[in-house]
Amino acid sequence: MTAASRVIAVTGGASGIGFAFSEALARAGHKVVIADLRGAAEAADRLKTQGLQAIGTQTDVVKPVDVASMVQQAVKAFGRLDVLVNNAGLFTTLALKPFDQISDAEWMRVMEVNTLGPFICAKAVVPEMRKNGFGRIVNIASTTPIKGTPNMLHYVASKGAVIAFTRSLARELGKDDITVNAIAPGFTLSDGVLENDMHSKMGDVVRKTSRSLQRDQVPDDLVGALLFLASDGAGFITGQTIAVDGGSVFI
Ligand SMILES: NC(=O)c1ccc[n+]([C@@H]2O[C@H](COP(=O)([O-])OP(=O)(O)OC[C@H]3O[C@@H](n4cnc5c(N)ncnc54)[C@H](O)[C@@H]3O)[C@@H](O)[C@H]2O)c1
């Protein structure tokens, strides 16, 4: 059986883990909509020069107008939208600090991008998925809420919410044959992490103290799980969180 080619929107898909997702999906024959605050058109051009199918759309995931436009552009370019990858998030730009040094405003901003963003995107794509009788939502969570990682309480709480969101939305969308799953990456050397000394040092500690597979995790380590969740073979899996972290946590 030949694998189906899907139309897949990747939020935050222009850099870091998101770009690794966009590139791997396009190389697997999917049509990719790269939605990002910045660099979306350039990232799509990088794929198109490889002969791959992609468009870029400047999108702020917390702005419903932008997200509605992302869906419209996907449908205009490729006729439908089958899969949403909720990858955009605030992580690599956050300073690590004790919980009582996090301002209320910073807490709200992290919650806004990391939880309201996926909610707005899910609301925007589901009508299109219902219409087509096919849909997959993949949320990018984190292993930090499972570990109880300190010094980023807003981030950890937001990703715990993403795991809970995944479970409840899976129950609501089951009747529509739309699956909702999460991938929980371990500490990954994305572009943003490599630029942030504090995060890079934390990554060393994770690798040495808790990871079964003794090497650094890179964005390409995450693409296999996403390709699987977007594939026809994953159609009876929903509400699950798959940890991809070299065996650091066991869910
Ligand atoms: N790197 C890690 O160690 C790690 C571990 C676990 C989970 N994650 C999660 O994986 C995802 C990607 O992480 P990364 O390390 O590649 O991050 P990154 O900071 O390198 O990239 C994030 C991308 O999201 C985009 N973005 C940010 N806010 C946006 C908004 N409001 N609207 C649209 N796009 C927006 C950025 O422009 C950027 O392209 C995030 O959800 C992050 O929380 C990362």
The model's pLDDT over 152-187, given as tens digits with 9 standing for 90+, comes to 999 999 999 999 999 999 999 999 999 999 999 999
Give the Å distance between the CA of 233 and the centre of ligand 1.
Answer: 27
Non-local CB neighbours of 42 within 8 Å, separated by 6+ positions: 14, 56
Q: Report how far ligand 1's centroid is from the alpha carbon of 88 (Å).
A: 5
Q: Which helix (H) or strand (E) holds 81?
A: none
In whole angstroms, give the CA distance from residue 2 to residue 223. Answer: 20
232: tokens are 């026809």
* CB 144, CB 114: distance < 8 Å: no
Tokens coding 118: 């996926």
Long-range contacts of 55-60 (CB under 8 A, 24+ apart): 56/14, 57/33, 59/11, 59/35
CA angle 171, 176, 182 (to 5 degrees): 50
d(CA 45, CA 221): 24
Nearest-Å Rg of the Cα atoms of the chain is: 17
Measure the N-to-C terminal CA separation of the chain; round to a whole number of Å.
Answer: 32
94 alpha carbon to ligand 1 midpoint, in Å? 11
Strand partners, 185: 244
Catalytic residues: 155
Task: Give CA separation, 107 vs 101, 116, 158, 239, 243, in Å.
Answer: 10, 13, 9, 26, 25
Amino acid at site 219: P
Output the CA–CA distances (angstroms, integers) from residue 127 to 56, 116, 121, 122, in the order listed: 22, 18, 11, 9
- Tens of pLDDT along the chain (251 residues) come to 457 899 999 999 999 999 999 999 999 999 999 999 999 999 999 999 999 999 999 999 999 999 999 999 999 999 999 999 999 999 999 999 999 999 999 999 999 999 999 999 999 999 999 999 999 999 999 999 999 999 999 999 999 999 999 999 999 999 999 999 999 999 999 999 998 887 777 777 777 788 999 999 999 999 999 999 999 999 999 999 999 999 999 99
The amino acid that residue 158 corresponds to is S
Separation between Cα atoms, residue 119 and residue 199, nearest integer Å: 27
| Pocket of ligand 1 contains residue 190 by CB under 6 Å | yes
Residue 56 near ligand 1, beta carbon < 6 Å:
no
16: amino acid identity, one letter = G
Residue type, 79: G
Closest-lying ligand 1 atom to the alpha carbon of residue 143: 6
- Structural domains of the chain sorted by starting position, each given as residue range(s) with its CATH number in brackets: 3-242 (3.40.50.720)
Cα 76 to Cα 33, 66, 70, 72: the distances in Å are 11, 15, 10, 6
